[in-house]
Amino acid sequence: MEDIKFSITLRKRGVGGKSDTWQVRAEYPTARGRPRDLRYLPAFRGTAKEAEAHKRALIRDHADVPVGYAPKALTVAQACLDDIATRLANNHIGRNTAQWQRDLVAHYIASTPLSHIQLDALTSTHVEAFMRELAGRDARNKTTKLAPSTRAAVYRLLSQTCQQAVVARAIRWNPVSGTKPPRQHTGAPRAVEFDALERILAAAQGATRDVLELAMRTGMRRGEICGLSWGDIDLTADPPVLQIRRNVTVIAGARVIGEPKTPAAKRTIPLSDDLVALFRPLLVTARENVLRLGVRLPDLPVFPEVDGGWMFPRSLTLRVKRVMHKVGLPDARLHDMRHSFVTHAFKATGDWHLVSARAGHRNVKTTIGLYGHLLADDAKKVVDPMALAIPVRRAVSK
């Protein structure tokens, strides 16, 4: 009886093999008479030809795997980073999400004793102690408390990493699953009423006022506003339109120009007369800057930073925050202008599909999931829709 050699088996996921995701099972070398050592490696997405090339590469990389080989034990921090890299390579997450999750590891995991624990030695007790520490202080400056959403993101990252390790048979069970997830506020999106919107615009000045009005009237995201250029706006079309083609984020302190958040976020928005009036004076100023800077008008940001480049999203947030404090709404954010647009647009039209397309959501289910509370208000109006058509019959008391 010969030793078992390293081999790879690929199988398509899903019913009938219609998915483009391939399950990768590896059989590691074992001595004669020893049971088979089967492990599941990270899934792979691609065509059949790409899957075969991936299989050959794995076999080539493991050509010298010795008998009795076991994957090197990883620390929790390194396992998280490896999982992020794998999901990025398989297009399960985007580049911006991957960098954000790496920052979570660097700021909130790598600086704690949890990071040095071997993944196969991690227990639910370790996870609970770690989450209690995060709830009490910020792992970066030891003073301010972490936001509930950040604690929840770190928890999800740990759980996902451990679950992938279970699938790969690196550990037997997910220790995070035996703990209680941190509480996270999931209330309805905050919409601002019309009178408050008027006070906000009255208190804002210059480019900050223009940004706020644009967000109120179109529901654009912060990064989409920062990435808006004059090549995206056509005031001569009938009707005038605005196209959303890019999104600005910050990675490691540098501005990164990327694709919008979802494929549906690439959209065309018709401009009202009020928005055309907003853009016309800005266009005059932009043409003057073209002559001064020597750049093409279509490449010029509509709302440039001081250096003439794309505006930093954080800079926009700070400008808006000052305005909100001035009008007595310290908790209001720029993103609440987007919530206000969606809320008031639905109340005006009652059309989920139209509002979802205008907001650039992935699908209408996302819109209903976020703003479904609006249906409760409408449900009160539809108690008995047949009351006018069917005669009322009541028992006559004797």
Is position 398 within any domain? no
Judge if 13 and 155 occupy the same domain.
no
Note the pLDDT tens digit of each residue in 293-348: 778 889 899 999 888 889 999 899 999 999 999 999 988 899 999 999 999 998 88
Is position 67 within any domain? no
Judge if 162 and 256 occupy the same domain.
no
Q: What is the pLDDT of residue 302?
A: 95
Judge if 54 and 161 occupy the same domain.
no
Judge if 126 and 21 occupy the same domain.
no
Is position 394 within any domain? no
Judge if 209 and 330 occupy the same domain.
yes
Provide the β-strand partners of residue 258. 247
Judge if 107 and 173 occupy the same domain.
yes
Is position 40 within any domain? yes
Note the pLDDT tens digit of each residue in 80-136: 998 888 888 877 887 778 888 988 898 889 888 888 898 888 999 999 999 988 887
Widest Cα–Cα separation across the chain: 97
Is position 395 within any domain? no
Domain end residue (candidates: 125, 144, 178): 178
Is position 390 within any domain? no
Q: What's the domain range around 81?
A: 76-178
Count of domains for the chain: 3
Judge if 303 and 255 occupy the same domain.
yes
Judge if 133 and 165 occupy the same domain.
yes
Output the domain CATH number for residue 110: 1.10.150.130
pTM of the model: 0.64
Note the pLDDT tens digit of each residue in 195-226: 999 999 999 999 999 999 999 999 999 999 99
Judge if 20 and 106 occupy the same domain.
no
Is position 104 within any domain? yes
Q: What is the pLDDT of residue 141?
A: 46
Note the pLDDT tens digit of each residue in 147-206: 788 889 999 999 999 988 887 777 888 999 888 888 766 566 788 888 999 999 999 999
